[in-house]
Amino acid sequence: MLSRVADSLYWMSRYLERAEHATRLLDVNLNLMLDESAASADRRWLRVLQALGNPRGVFWKGDPYALTRELALDTGNKGSIVSCIINARENSRHVREQISTEQWHQLNTLYLQMTRPELQAHLMSDMMMSSDDLIGFLQLVMEAVHQFQGVSDSTMRHGEGWQFIQVGRYIERAEATALLVAAYHEDLWGHPDAATESNEYLDWMGLLRSATAFEAYCKVYTADLVPDKILEFLLLDEEFPHSLRFSIDSLQHALEAIQRVSGKTRAEPLRKLAGKLQATLSYSSVDEILERDLIAYLREIQVQCREIHEMIYELYVDYSIQAALAG
Amino acid sequence: MHTAQGKQFEQTALKNYLLDHAYDEMFQGPGQLHPHYDPLLEHFASLPANELQRRKQAADLSFLNQGITFTVYGREEGTEKIFPYDLLPRIITSAEWATVERGLTQRITALNLFLRDIYNEGRILNDGIVPREVIYSCKQFRRQMMGLQVPRNVYIAVCGTDLIRLENGEFVVLEDNLRVPSGVSYMLTNRRVMKRIFPQLFSMYNVKPIEQYTQQLLGTLRSLAPEGRPEPNIVLLSPGVFNSAYFEHAYLARQMGIELVEGRDLVTHDNIIYMRTTSGLRRVDVIYRRVDDDFIDPLAFRPDSTLGVAGLFNAYRAGNVTLANAFGTGVADDKALYAYVPDIIRYYMSEEPVLKNVETYLMARPKEREYALANLDKLVVKAVGESGGYGMLIGPQASKAQLAEFAEKIKADPRNYIAQPTITFSRAPCLFGDEFEPRHVDLRPYVLYGDKVTIVPGGLTRVALKRGSLVVNSSQGGGSKDTWVLSE
């Protein structure tokens, strides 16, 4: 497979995962804030910004809908949902002949819907009506991205290209989950007395729902939202698709599949790097993690994800010609 | 049209179908159809009202969803457009097609011999059939190609020749496209959509299939591989996603099952071309390139090009990679050289040309220039190096200022212009609302030349969708329709 193609598929997938995550985060928080006093809005939305990695140039100014518009629809903001969709579609356009027609339809249709000038104008206006539509819009994006994933799994050959899509998705998801947990941890674990009891329940629920984990958590631990259990679930659960461990396991599987196609010996350093991360997650317990500095732990995971990303590039995309000729 | 339905159909759908002096693809004369259009009209007459509209919408949607688009240059917004498509097929009889096929085979064979000759001994120049200055003043002449041995002596592997019909119905050549002709993907997708939208009508005719084109193209490219490379790695080189024909590049690569590469995917080492893959570098043997000569190798041609592959020309020269088409084929589709093609055919083939040329005045010849300048309002003037309908003046439709502007241009650089009489292209019925109206059409068949000449029956029929317009180029508001070549 061409390096450029791998690069495009990887980023197409990352951008879609990013869009999906941001969409869910906004949707969940717009919903939960309705049950809450206006006083706690500041904390909630600052936390949202932090979970999104504090996008440059976006600030909390007291209006959740205005913030949502900025994070969802502002094409000037590189991290906005619409920018992610545009970028994902642009990457897919570059590899149009590599993905299935169904995948292209799905993504192209979403792109055309999102960039319609009327829609942009309508949603950007300040009217009450448009705030309701904003929520409908977020749901539309989420559904479309889910459908794209379904279509990808069922119409594309699960060869190297598909594996690069998995790599992009899970590396993005792992980083996002780490960032999300970190944002909540600093806020909730850090100041246990700052929240009232009912608020606290909503906040924990918000955390779980932001990772589509609420229902899955309840099945395992019942609806008692216990902070340590939540942490255990989001970080270490083996079977939940948004947990950190699941993401890294899937990432490692995809990388191994790619290595089988493209030659094993070259990829040894990458296998070690991803394997090390996988092992620490597989054999840790939540108590161990909490005994130490959780924030530092999560930061370390993000650093390792970035190292894996760089190694992927060095091996498959941006390698030097001399090295390739010698190998 | 003998049924009552037919009569009514004529009164409504055909009420604006007025004949003029141009050849009509459907009518021989007032009220009198060419027999091969009979079943078509009968069929449409039998459809309930609005059915045509419904099917037209189905076709449009199909194009939109598939992303069958092209890019228009020079506009900020809406640069991706759907290629406009007309529902009514253009029908060509097998006898008509036989002549076209014979003529095109003769022409591509002669032009290949011509290219080989001028890049080697130059017999035709020594014999004074084609003046040297026409060749050496051509911007598309590539000195680098002199004396170079080309696989199978095939310079032009893929060509798209623009044909039009004169008032008497005779097909003549308007233009040869010997560099990187495009549009074949529209021919193929038009047919697919058509078969889906009008299965019944399609089965009433005995239409020759065209689906085999991509396989034939692949076979042609394979036959040109460098010697000693039995399993050649064939790639399609595209300028990238911003090129107007990107859809086509992606489509053809997918249909042939070959990699679509861009300049940045290829590297040269020791005069061998490699592509960068996730498993390391992989050697490339044949490049079906859709990048112009100028941009393809910054070391050999334009140094500011970022689309190309540095060192490609040397690898080609060393015989390690084949390019289709070869470098320097543009000299043979230069519009000034066009005037000499009939002589070129006579010279190499010792035959009369099967397909005639359109009468052409070379502005570099003083007498013809004088004539043209005096009659500019009756002529079509074309810049020799341009294509896609750019740099063109249509005398009868031009303003005084435009005429004066072109007169100045011609005087300043006569070699750069030719003039032709305004020819009325033939007209074919197109669907507007529920009505048929005639529009001017041309025909671009696609010719392949590897170990043999292959022409898929049909081609791209381009339509000037604006009423009265003669410009069929997609960049200038043209559309296309499916072209049916009938078997016996």
Report the pLDDT value the prediction gives residue B69, as an integer from 0 to 100: 65
In a domain, B198, yes or no: no
| Ranges A265-269, B177-181, B262-266: which has the least confidence | A265-269
Is B278 within 8 Å of A321 when comparing Cβ atoms? no
In a domain, B194, yes or no: no
Give the residue numbers spanning the domain of B310: 227-320
Report the pLDDT value the prediction gives residue B3, as an integer from 0 to 100: 65
Q: Does B174 touch chain A (CB under 8 A)?
A: no
Contacts A–B by Cβ distance under 8 A: 63
Residues B301, B364, single domain; the answer is no
Closest residue on chain A to B251 (Cα): A97
User: Total domain count for chain B?
Assistant: 2
Is A321 within 8 Å of B67 when comparing Cβ atoms? no
Domain boundary among B421, B446, B462: B421
In a domain, B279, yes or no: yes
Q: Which residues of chain B are within 8 Å of residue A266 when distances are taken between CB atoms?
A: 280
In a domain, B383, yes or no: yes
| Ranges A201-205, B111-115, B198-202, B230-234: which has the least confidence | A201-205
Residues B239, B315, single domain; the answer is yes
B74 has a pLDDT exceeding 60: no
Is B265 within 8 Å of A6 when comparing Cβ atoms? no
Domain boundary among B380, B401, B421: B421
In a domain, B295, yes or no: yes
Question: A189 or B327: which carries more pLDDT confidence?
Answer: B327
Q: What is the pLDDT of residues B433-447, one digit of tens each?
A: 878 899 999 999 999
In a domain, B468, yes or no: no
Q: Does B66 touch chain A (CB under 8 A)?
A: yes
Whole-model pTM: value is 0.85
In a domain, B379, yes or no: yes
Report the pLDDT value the prediction gives residue A129, as an integer from 0 to 100: 61
Domain boundary among B381, B402, B421: B421
Neighbours of B468 (CB within 10 A): 8
Instruction: CATH number of the domain at B383, please.
Output: 3.30.1490.270
Integer Cα distance of B36 and B45 in angstroms: 16
Q: Which residues of chain B are within 8 Å of residue A6 when distances are taken between CB atoms?
A: 278
Is B254 within 8 Å of A266 when comparing Cβ atoms? no
Mean pLDDT across the stretch B68-86? Answer: 63
Q: Which residues of chain B are within 8 Å of residue A313 when distances are taken between CB atoms?
A: none
Is A2 within 8 Å of B67 when comparing Cβ atoms? no
Q: What is the pLDDT of residues A229-247, one digit of tens each?
A: 999 999 999 999 999 999 9
Residues B314, B377, single domain; the answer is no
Report the pLDDT value the prediction gives residue B77, as an integer from 0 to 100: 44
Question: Which A residues, 18 through 57, put their C-beta within 8 Å of a C-beta on chain B?
Answer: none
Closest residue on chain B to A102 (Cα): B66
Q: What is the pLDDT of residues B336-346, one digit of tens each?
A: 899 999 999 99
Q: Does B241 touch chain A (CB under 8 A)?
A: yes
Q: Which residues of chain B are within 8 Å of residue A90 when distances are taken between CB atoms?
A: 241
Report the pLDDT value the prediction gives residue A42, as an integer from 0 to 100: 87
In a domain, B394, yes or no: yes
Is B280 within 8 Å of A263 when comparing Cβ atoms? yes
Residues B233, B302, single domain; the answer is yes
**pLDDT block averages, 10 residues each, chain A of length 327:** 95 97 95 81 91 91 90 88 95 89 90 82 70 87 95 95 97 96 81 60 90 93 89 95 96 94 81 92 90 91 95 91 77
Instruction: CATH number of the domain at B285, please.
Output: 3.40.50.11290
The confidence band for B45, taking pLDDT boundaries of 50, 70 and 90, is confident
Q: Which residues of chain A are within 8 Å of residue B277 when distances are taken between CB atoms?
A: 1-3, 262
| Ranges A60-64, B56-60, B399-403: which has the least confidence | B56-60
